[in-house]
Structure 1
Amino acid sequence: MGNPAQDTVRKRRRAFLGATSGHLIEWYDYGVYGFLAVYIGQAFFVSDDPTTSLLASFAAFALSFFIRPLGGLFFGPLADKIGRRKTLIMALVMMSGSTVLLGLLPTYASLGIAAPILLILVRCVQGFSAGGEIGTVTSFISEYAGPGRRGFATCWLMVTAVLGLLLGGAVANGMTWVLGAEVMQDWAWRVPFLIAAPLGFISMYIRLKLEDSPEFLALQRAGQTSRAPLREVWQWKRAIALVFFIITLHSSIFYLVLTFASTYMAKILKFDSGTTLLYVFVASFSAAFVMPFGGAFTDKYGRKPFLMVIGTLATLAMFWLFKMAPTATPATFFAPLMAVAILFGLYASSTYALMSELLPTRIRSTGIAVAYNVPVAVFGGSAPLISTWLIKVTGDITSPWYFYVATGVVSLIALVVLRKEDFVASGSPQVAPAGAALA
């Protein structure tokens, strides 16, 4: 007979591998698109003004994020009714398939106005599936981890998100370096998207062999799964609001470090491509490196005080980054960029765990999907678009700080009002406590 403890450890490791592998593919796609935005803009949004093409490309990028809440509304309740595993498989098929399809799309030169329309539709499918993935995968990992380990366990979702973006960036930039900008613009921009096919098959193989989370299976055996999670989730209005506002900073700083920073350095500060690429990769790896330490720290000492301190420092660091930009050189810009990156890694290390601890098992996927996807769309996916627009209309390259600092202030206010009573203990009644609904 097998050792039950060893079997549990094996199941947990397999669950983490299956969940994070699919998450990596999701963010690989976003990384490829972000790093190839210039080529995609010129291929699908033809304009005499390169900035206009870039804005249109970023707008398509942002649109996929505004579709995410719809995906969350579909997949989140599904995961709370039929299980996390089945829902994760469905989301992965949709995400991988649409990413490959993007690499096969005809451009404006061959299809005219229909080309950007098709691109937008594909990005919407990607956003829809990504919106369904987040609530389900966070619930799946946190429920397998159990109390006392959720910070460390769920932080690996953020680590793989960063690594997925970096992998996408490495493939895109590596091909650009080898083939040159002309070949990339002609046809080679497609290849990084097509690579999603084998990655998707590998992740699918792993996910098909998973068992559902122990907490969900226990709820299912007891006949306590929610029949109407989308209706029931609004009994937890306070928790939904707290997650929404705490994730605001998480969203904006994520896309500052991993998407907009490269465009800002290359297009606004006129740093050479080698410096820009090096800085983005060093900053991103640094953020990923500190995440497990932050997650483990909050498991032991608590999430609220840690997030308040780190959130305050991150907000100040973003202000520093943009205010010193007019006189920035590659040498002077490195320090504020690294400060923002490391503080982003520490802040994001425990936000997923916090989300899972504010909502009960029976509506956890739905609650996270509802509360997380909207701020990611408004303050995350649209961050490059908003930042580029602010610079264009004001003529001030420091102007993005208004947006980023505002997101930090919003999250800090939410953390101030977060109470110990807001956390849902594992095994507690799966009903809304008194005061859970906001007046």
Structure 2
Amino acid sequence: MTTEDTGHTVDRNDKLVILASSVGTVIEWYDFYLYGSLAAIITTQFFSGVNETTGYIFALLAFAAGFAVRPFGAIVFGRLGDLWGRKNTFLVTMLLMGLSTFVVGLLPSYAAIGVAAPVILVLMRLVQGLALGGEYGGAATYVAEHAPNGKRGFYTSFIQITATAGLMISLVVILGVRLSIGEEAFAAWGWRIPFLVSILMLGVSLWIRLKLAESPAFKKMKAEGKGSTTPLKDSFGKWPNLKLVILALFGLAAGQAVVWYTGQFYALLFLEKTLKVDGALTNTLVAVALLLATPFFVFWGWISDKIGRKPVILAGCLIAALTYFPLFHALTAAANPRLAAAAASAPVTVYADPADCSFQFDPIGKTTFSKSCDLAKSYLAKAGVAYANQAAPAGTVAQVRIGATTVESFRGDQLPAADFKAAKKTWETGLGDHLKAAGYPAKADSALVNKPLTVAILFALVFYVTMVYGPIAAALVEMFPTNIRYTSMSLPYHIGNGWFGGFLPTTAFAMVAASGNIYHGLWYPIVIAVITAVVGFLFIKEGKDVDIHT
């Protein structure tokens, strides 16, 4: 059944619905992304018992753990939302999110309580992930079921702003604390402040949400006795609906997710960890780009009411896939021009016997990587220097070729432990001097960062995000019936965003570390975005004119 625009205008009650749903979701995203924004500091505070590289990977994995459990949160809270109501369910999820974030702000470091610190940290991340898995579906469904026909894209687009707003607010709060107390104090204890102040925002959002009534579509369904008593079985145990769930995942949510995380989170990590831009400056540049792009979430939601959700989302996926490589190359030139110039004039190649190269991920942080190839790649990875790999004959001692200069590594695995430590320090100092002589900077010079161009590139990346994310809530809500809507739309959304998107930083980082190419990780979002564009074009039906109240 299709309907036309009812001519309904946004009244006071509609504004309260949008405000309450959006404010609560902003705070949940703020809580969730504090961790990601502070990954480098989290590494030193909670994973100091392992080496630096392993610690950072562990920090990313702990961040990803929150994403890993989001689909399970979608199942648990989606079922409750279809049985118990939209409003009550997302009150519970918000409370869980806020309290777990507050606990992280109070959690002692690894130095204080040992291995218990990272264990509790990961536990809190899991609670956050479960809560967020239930929050988004509830808020999106609640707003969509209040929206008049013909304006669902516009109404739900305000929910879509919340993720960006939460990230932006987290960056602003972090930056404000950093500037107020200084980098040294922030790294020591000031990083806890953004986690702790979230309890105040939690109180405000709970107060606002308690003023809401239940969704009219849910009340109508209950009054007519049409509710599902087995929403999980009806959503995933019956092929017609399960097929829609699978299509929603691969034809909409997966591509949207990787575009979102590339534009808003991977770009931040790329600036700070790969290009070595100062953390405070990185936060500022990303926050400005987010602020400029945020209105386009509403714009694309409104446009999707006119031309459909499908063309907007799929166009965003395809354009992003086609332009990521040139945009990230341009970002390197704008944010760290000395690094770009050095890479062009003196490219680095690791010439080594492949059998001499290990996969340098140490789960317990106690392994010493002392082969000649491992020594070379480990140093280059820490220095943020891109390199190519070239196979050498068996038994060859690895070499690092910097333009026309060759620096030979050494066989640390053949030295006593004490001698190895001294030899490694001497060798790394020498390699660092050669890299410096070739123009490779230890970190980006803030004075040389082309700030307007960097913001413009970041804006383009976030603009793609607004295209794919602005209409996604309306698109997913329209695919499923009222009695199983919360459950059915939550799972593909959170598998897409929790797994395909949430594991993007870790996956891309591993791809870069293995290849030596700082852009190699972009293949992950590009491939997923193209798959979504193809599947969505062939199999997703446009739903902008569907009456979701029938």
TM-score calculated relative to the size of structure 2: 0.73
- Among 121, 125, 133, the alignment partner of 1:131 is 133
- Please report how far the alpha carbon of residue 7 of structure 1 lies from its aligned counterpart in structure 2 after TM superposition: 12
8 Å Cα contact 1:28/1:168 also seen in 2: yes
Matches within 5 A, 1:29-178: 29-46=31-48, 49-178=51-180
Aligned to 1:250: 256
- Among 464, 477, 480, the alignment partner of 1:359 is 480
- Please report how far the alpha carbon of residue 180 of structure 1 lies from its aligned counterpart in structure 2 after TM superposition: 2.2
- Please report how far the alpha carbon of residue 314 of structure 1 lies from its aligned counterpart in structure 2 after TM superposition: 1.6
- Among 485, 509, 518, the alignment partner of 1:397 is 518
- Among 302, 309, 334, the alignment partner of 1:303 is 309
Secondary structure, in 3 states, of the residue corresponding to 1:271?
coil
Please tell me the residue identity of whatever aligns with 1:103: G
Aligned length: 425
Larger mean Cα displacement after TM superposition, 416-425 or 345-354:
416-425
Secondary structure, in 3 states, of the residue corresponding to 1:187?
helix
The 4+ residue runs of structure 1 with deviation greater than 6 A are 5-8, 421-424
Q: Distance in 1 between matches of 2:229 and 2:463?
A: 42
8 Å Cα contact 1:359/1:424 also seen in 2: no
TM-score calculated relative to the size of structure 1: 0.91
8 Å Cα contact 2:146/2:215 also seen in 1: yes
Aligned to 2:534: 413
C-alpha distance after superposition, 1:53-74 (max 9, x if no partner): 2221111010011011111111
Q: Distance in 1 between matches of 2:213 and 2:98?
A: 22
Secondary structure, in 3 states, of the residue corresponding to 2:136?
helix
Aligned to 2:503: 382
- Please report how far the alpha carbon of residue 24 of structure 1 lies from its aligned counterpart in structure 2 after TM superposition: 0.6
Secondary structure, in 3 states, of the residue corresponding to 2:48?
coil
- Among 276, 280, 288, the alignment partner of 2:282 is 276
- Among 493, 500, 517, the alignment partner of 1:372 is 493
Aligned to 1:26: 28
Q: Which runs of no fewer than 5 residues in structure 1 stay unpaired?
A: 430-439
Q: Distance in 2 between matches of 1:388 and 1:132?
A: 28
Secondary structure, in 3 states, of the residue corresponding to 1:224?
coil
C-alpha distance after superposition, 1:25-65 (max 9, x if no partner): 11111232122111111000015643332221111010011
Aligned to 1:435: none
Note if 1:289 corresponds to 2:289: no
8 Å Cα contact 2:66/2:125 also seen in 1: yes
Aligned to 2:245: 240
- Please report how far the alpha carbon of residue 238 of structure 1 lies from its aligned counterpart in structure 2 after TM superposition: 2.4
Q: Distance in 2 between matches of 1:8 and 1:268?
A: 45
Label 1:14 to 1:401 Cα distance change in 2 as closer, same or farther (>3 A).
same
Q: Distance in 2 between matches of 1:397 and 1:325?
A: 12
Q: Distance in 2 between matches of 1:29 and 1:125?
A: 12
- Please report how far the alpha carbon of residue 118 of structure 1 lies from its aligned counterpart in structure 2 after TM superposition: 0.4
Give the share of equivalent positions with the same residue, in percent.
Answer: 32
8 Å Cα contact 1:304/1:418 also seen in 2: no
Label 1:227 to 1:346 Cα distance change in 2 as closer, same or farther (>3 A).
same
Q: Distance in 2 between matches of 1:113 and 1:274?
A: 30
- Please report how far the alpha carbon of residue 392 of structure 1 lies from its aligned counterpart in structure 2 after TM superposition: 1.3
Please tell me the residue identity of whatever aligns with 1:408: A
Aligned to 1:194: 196
Please tell me the residue identity of whatever aligns with 2:96: M
Q: Distance in 1 between matches of 2:273 and 2:542?
A: 47
Aligned to 2:394: none
Aligned to 1:437: none
Aligned to 1:259: 265
- Among 318, 322, 331, the alignment partner of 2:324 is 318
Q: Distance in 1 between matches of 2:93 and 2:175?
A: 28
Label 1:131 to 1:424 Cα distance change in 2 as closer, same or farther (>3 A).
farther
Please tell me the residue identity of whatever aligns with 2:44: Q
Q: Distance in 2 between matches of 1:347 and 1:155?
A: 11
Q: Distance in 2 between matches of 1:115 and 1:203?
A: 29
Note if 1:345 corresponds to 2:466: yes
C-alpha distance after superposition, 1:197-238 (max 9, x if no partner): 111111111111110111111101111111000100123122
8 Å Cα contact 1:358/1:424 also seen in 2: no
- Please report how far the alpha carbon of residue 258 of structure 1 lies from its aligned counterpart in structure 2 after TM superposition: 2.2
Q: Distance in 2 between matches of 1:247 and 1:420?
A: 14
8 Å Cα contact 1:65/1:381 also seen in 2: yes
C-alpha distance after superposition, 1:48-102 (max 9, x if no partner): 6433322211110100110111111110011001110110111111111111111
8 Å Cα contact 2:315/2:533 also seen in 1: no
Label 1:114 to 1:419 Cα distance change in 2 as closer, same or farther (>3 A).
closer
- Please report how far the alpha carbon of residue 119 of structure 1 lies from its aligned counterpart in structure 2 after TM superposition: 0.3
C-alpha distance after superposition, 1:360-384 (max 9, x if no partner): 1111100112111112122211111
8 Å Cα contact 2:145/2:548 also seen in 1: no
8 Å Cα contact 2:98/2:198 also seen in 1: yes
What RMSD in Å do the two structures reach over aligned CA positions? 2.2
8 Å Cα contact 1:242/1:418 also seen in 2: yes
C-alpha distance after superposition, 1:109-146 (max 9, x if no partner): 11101110000001100101000111111110110113
8 Å Cα contact 2:150/2:544 also seen in 1: no
Larger mean Cα displacement after TM superposition, 322-331 or 23-32:
322-331
Q: Distance in 2 between matches of 1:9 and 1:404?
A: 40
8 Å Cα contact 1:255/1:383 also seen in 2: yes
Label 1:412 to 1:187 Cα distance change in 2 as closer, same or farther (>3 A).
same
Please tell me the residue identity of whatever aligns with 2:514: V
Secondary structure, in 3 states, of the residue corresponding to 1:358?
coil
Q: Distance in 2 between matches of 1:363 and 1:322?
A: 41
